[in-house]
Amino acid sequence: AQTVTQSQPEMSVQEAETVTLSCTYDTSESDYYLFWYKQPPSRQMILVIRQEAYKQQNATENRFSVNFQKAAKSFSLKISDSQLGDAAMYFCAYRSGPNSGGSNYKLTFGKGTLLTVNP
């Protein structure tokens, strides 16, 4: 079974600075997707960014980018120019792809990193 590990339970960053959240995963599959979800105090789960394993180019969404190291099974999230609204719990997640040979239904989450943004 796949596992997702977020080794930083809490992180803090100064407003306008850059912060990187770590995520590692364990899998024997070659076809999979990785996600970062944000959960603000409102509790709503919001997709931040996604990465297809077959794509070598790192995904980018405005101030959010990932460093996807497939061989190292690492998927870190970089937040540039941090804003107060970025304060939230961030979850890394793994999902098998349709050609993985396994179940592509289940999304496996890490335990989360609580990000605090200091003004």
Q: Which stretch binds another protein (CB under 8 A): 17-25, 43-51, 63-71, 72-80?
A: 43-51
Q: Which stretch binds another protein (CB under 8 A): 22-30, 44-52, 66-74, 75-83?
A: 44-52
Residue the block writes with tokens 């979800």: 37
Query: Which residues fall within 8 angstroms of residue 79, CB to CB, at 6 or more apart?
Result: 13, 18, 19, 20, 21, 63, 64, 86, 115
Tell me if 109 contacts another protein by CB under 8 A: yes
Provide the 3-class DSSP secondary structure of residue 26: strand
Query: Which residues fall within 8 angstroms of residue 73, CB to CB, at 6 or more apart?
Result: 24, 25, 26, 27
x-marked contacts with another protein along 62-91 as a string, rule CB under 8 A: -----------------------------x
Residue numbers at the binding site for another protein (CB under 8 A): 9, 33, 35, 43-45, 47, 50, 52, 91, 93, 95, 97-98, 104-107, 109-112
